[in-house]
Chains A and B, each alone.
Chain A
Amino acid sequence: MWLLVERWREVYSPSALGDRAGYLGTEKREKSIFLKIEACEMVQILISSPEEGNPGEWMLIELQGEIESRQNTGLAGSLMGDLHYTKEGVPVLIVGHHILYGKVVKLEKPFAVLVKRSGHQEVDDNAMETGEAKPSTNYQVTALIKKKMIFKTRPKPIITNVPKKV
């Protein structure tokens, strides 16, 4: 089974007006990679809803660029930053030496967060008798995301060491 991968790039123009980057929109860069997702015969991959009740709602934060850990120790378990809200409801994120201002946006198309589960799927009654099981992949919906906080402005550096005026 093949999945088409399309690359999108957020396009910004450097602005002469200061540190606010002008957001121009998304531009498709290339669209030709086919990703093989299952190498065997015809498959049905199940995406199931959570067993009990409604899936919860999570938040999505969208950032331009990448996040790296300062000491190259990897990200797991480490602090990322502080998220504040102004009284008007504008999200403010302090990450490392940067401040980013963002916006809460309702998603036109909500996301489902899927978790991949590999397991053994009993194929049918006959197979069960012989103890046969097909190793299979399936996904479970863990949560839905209906809103996101997007931080599009260029991060403002925090200057911690101001040289004293002589």
Chain B
Amino acid sequence: MRTLDEVQATLQIAKLNVDDLKPVIHCLSFGENISSGDYCLMELDDTLCKHIEAGKSLVIRGDKDEHAVLCSEDKTYDLKIADTSNLLLFIPDCKTPDHFPEDLPCQNLIPSRISGFSNCYWELRRCRPKVKKLKKLLMDNAYEGPDSENERNSTEQKYSTDDLLERIQASEQELLNQLQLIHACEIEGYWRILEFDYEMKILGHITQLVDSESWSFSKVTLSVCLEELGPLEPKELIEHCLNCYGKRYTAEAGEIYFSLNEDKVCRATAQMLLQNAVKFNLSEFQEVWQQSVPEGMTTRLDQLKGLALVDRSSRPETIFLLKVEDLPEDTQERFNCLFGMREKWTEEAVSPYIQDLCGEKQTIGALLTKYSRTSMQNGVKVYSSRRPVAT
């Protein structure tokens, strides 16, 4: 431990004037455990800083082949190590100059231990949660109904929320949002996806009931649905279906109703038709589609964004199933895939298939500028690949 005399002697040799300095000196030394301490630095943004100060924790998630990500309760970040050529020392007891007044009666020595040093730190960048894996995991054991063969004999893996958090690189909130998006249902503590045909069967029961009761689509009574359809299918699934395809509300006297979403019902009906063939004649499809939806609902092509693609260059015009969730998750791979399918795209056609790639504050326009090349075709702006792609 240095003494005041030693410090003053050093100052003299260094030709520094004591009068120019504040009378506080930190004598820095290296802590005993300096090399063995397993310290590392992690860069934070405002949100994360407040998160930590509130006592909340963070989790790093990743499979052996995946890049590590960091998750808070509702956000996901890419984790990288930034290596700097500078040396970073961290010192617990060291105060900044503004902490001390200019005049103190005498010089004060503050011994300060350097508890660690590093020349690298963890860098975090907000990213999209990697949830594509989720649907695949749940589809491996899709739910076909409580009486189905599969269900009774199944030894397939089932996943609870915690099980999913161990396998999916996403925060809990993002995971739950995605589960809702893909119409997953929690049955007996496990998340299940309904087999599509089964889901449509239940939806069909509901729309037939609406028809036979002469209800308006915006006033579907929950209790009647459960009573009338209960004998046919499990009540939780009837309610789940209503939640997926409608909006729940409570009216006078506490009665619960659902307002069916025309767009969602029409879209699901289209999927049911389109999945049976490679391509359809567009006008024939539109006719069959309109006839297949519940009476009173109107079909529109824009209901099929991200689900089907219309080919206006073929004679006759055709339509085929193309689900955005079946496309690659990585941005460059997604663009390669889309350009491999079709050389030139209009913004209108490609937007639904790249919307989910936009990061925070990123627009479709910015994404297109970065990953594609523009040109004009018949007076319309079209986008194509920046590099040669095999079609």
The chain A residues found within 8 Å of chain B, CB to CB, are: 1-10, 26, 35, 37-50, 54-56, 58-67, 74-87, 89-92, 94, 99, 104, 109-116, 139, 141-145, 147-149, 158, 160
Instruction: Find out whether the CB atom of A44 lies under 8 angstroms from the CB atom of B87.
Output: no
A selection of 26 A-B contacts at a CB cut-off of 8 Å is: A2-B62, A2-B66, A3-B67, A3-B81, A40-B64, A41-B63, A42-B62, A45-B61, A47-B58, A60-B89, A63-B89, A74-B35, A77-B32, A80-B30, A82-B25, A83-B112, A87-B20, A87-B21, A110-B43, A115-B37, A139-B40, A142-B39, A143-B90, A149-B96, A158-B14, A160-B13
Query: Which residues from chain B contact A86 at a C-beta distance below 8 Å?
Result: 20-22, 97
Contact mask B63-84 → A, CB, 8 Å, 1/0?
Answer: 1111110100000000111111
Extra contacts, 12 of them, besides A59-B91, A75-B30, A85-B97 (Cβ < 8 A), are: A6-B83, A26-B84, A44-B61, A54-B55, A55-B52, A64-B85, A65-B87, A77-B30, A83-B94, A109-B44, A158-B13, A160-B13
Query: Which residues from chain B contact A139 at a C-beta distance below 8 Å?
Result: 40
- Does B121 reach chain A (CB closer than 8 Å)? yes
The answer to whether residues A4 and B81 also contact, given A39-B64, A144-B49 and a CB cut-off of 8 A, is: yes
Ranked 9 nearest A-B pairs via Cβ:
A1-B62, A116-B38, A59-B94, A89-B97, A85-B97, A45-B60, A83-B26, A80-B28, A47-B58
User: Smallest CB-CB separation from B112: which chain A residue?
Assistant: A83
The chain B residues found within 8 Å of chain A, CB to CB, are: 2, 7, 10-11, 13-16, 20-22, 24-35, 37-45, 48-49, 52-68, 70, 79-92, 94-98, 100, 102, 112, 114-116, 120-121, 123, 165-167
How far is A143 from B27 in the complex, measured between Cα atoms in Å? 21
Instruction: Find out whether the CB atom of A1 lies under 8 angstroms from the CB atom of B67.
Output: yes
Smallest beta-carbon distance B296→chain A, Å? 48
Instruction: Find out whether the CB atom of A92 lies under 8 angstroms from the CB atom of B21.
Output: yes
Query: Which residues from chain A contact B100 at a C-beta distance below 8 Å?
Result: 85
Instruction: Find out whether the CB atom of B42 lies under 8 angstroms from the CB atom of A112.
Output: yes
User: Smallest CB-CB separation from B58: which chain A residue?
Assistant: A47
How far is A145 from B53 in the complex, measured between Cα atoms in Å? 12
Contact of B28 among A56, A83, A114 (CB under 8 A): A83
How far is A8 from B88 in the complex, measured between Cα atoms in Å? 14
How far is A91 from B34 in the complex, measured between Cα atoms in Å? 23
Instruction: Find out whether the CB atom of B10 lies under 8 angstroms from the CB atom of A94.
Output: yes
Instruction: Find out whether the CB atom of A61 lies under 8 angstroms from the CB atom of B85.
Output: no
User: Smallest CB-CB separation from A116: which chain B residue?
Assistant: B38
Instruction: Find out whether the CB atom of A60 lies under 8 angstroms from the CB atom of B88.
Output: yes
Query: Which residues from chain B contact A35 at a C-beta distance below 8 Å?
Result: 81
Query: Which residues from chain B contact A109 at a C-beta distance below 8 Å?
Result: 43-45
Query: Which residues from chain B contact A43 at a C-beta distance below 8 Å?
Result: 60-62
Query: Which residues from chain A contact B79 at a C-beta distance below 8 Å?
Result: 3
Query: Which residues from chain B contact A37 at a C-beta distance below 8 Å?
Result: 68
Smallest beta-carbon distance A109→chain B, Å? 5
Instruction: Find out whether the CB atom of B21 lies under 8 angstroms from the CB atom of A76.
Output: no
Instruction: Find out whether the CB atom of B86 lies under 8 angstroms from the CB atom of A62.
Output: yes
Smallest beta-carbon distance B305→chain A, Å? 34
Instruction: Find out whether the CB atom of A104 lies under 8 angstroms from the CB atom of B97.
Output: yes
Query: Which residues from chain B contact A65 at a C-beta distance below 8 Å?
Result: 86-87
How far is A164 from B42 in the complex, measured between Cα atoms in Å? 52
Query: Which residues from chain B contact A49 at a C-beta distance below 8 Å?
Result: 52-57
Instruction: Find out whether the CB atom of A76 lies under 8 angstroms from the CB atom of B41.
Output: no
Instruction: Find out whether the CB atom of B85 lies under 8 angstroms from the CB atom of A89.
Output: no
User: Smallest CB-CB separation from A114: which chain B residue?
Assistant: B40
Instruction: Find out whether the CB atom of A112 lies under 8 angstroms from the CB atom of B44.
Output: yes
Query: Which residues from chain A contact B89 at a C-beta distance below 8 Å?
Result: 60-63
How far is A78 from B29 in the complex, measured between Cα atoms in Å? 6
The answer to whether residues A9 and B85 also contact, given A113-B116, A144-B52 and a CB cut-off of 8 A, is: yes
Query: Which residues from chain B contact A90 at a C-beta distance below 8 Å?
Result: 97
Query: Which residues from chain B contact A84 at a C-beta distance below 8 Å?
Result: 11, 16, 21-22, 25
Query: Which residues from chain A contact B70 at a C-beta distance below 8 Å?
Result: 47
Query: Which residues from chain B contact A83 at a C-beta distance below 8 Å?
Result: 25-28, 94, 112
Query: Which residues from chain B contact A77 at a C-beta distance below 8 Å?
Result: 29-32
Instruction: Find out whether the CB atom of A75 lies under 8 angstroms from the CB atom of B86.
Output: no
Instruction: Find out whether the CB atom of A45 lies under 8 angstroms from the CB atom of B59.
Output: yes
Query: Which residues from chain A contact B84 at a C-beta distance below 8 Å?
Result: 8-10, 26
The answer to whether residues A48 and B57 also contact, given A41-B64, A92-B16 and a CB cut-off of 8 A, is: yes
Query: Which residues from chain B contact A148 at a C-beta distance below 8 Å?
Result: 88
- Most chain A beta-carbon contacts within 10 A, residue among B11, B62, B70, B123: B62
Query: Which residues from chain B contact A80 at a C-beta distance below 8 Å?
Result: 28-30, 114
Instruction: Find out whether the CB atom of A110 lies under 8 angstroms from the CB atom of B10.
Output: no
Query: Which residues from chain A contact B114 at a C-beta distance below 8 Å?
Result: 61, 80
Instruction: Find out whether the CB atom of A75 lies under 8 angstroms from the CB atom of B63.
Output: no
Query: Which residues from chain B contact A160 at a C-beta distance below 8 Å?
Result: 13
The answer to whether residues A42 and B63 also contact, given A49-B57, A76-B33, A85-B24 and a CB cut-off of 8 A, is: yes
Smallest beta-carbon distance A78→chain B, Å? 6
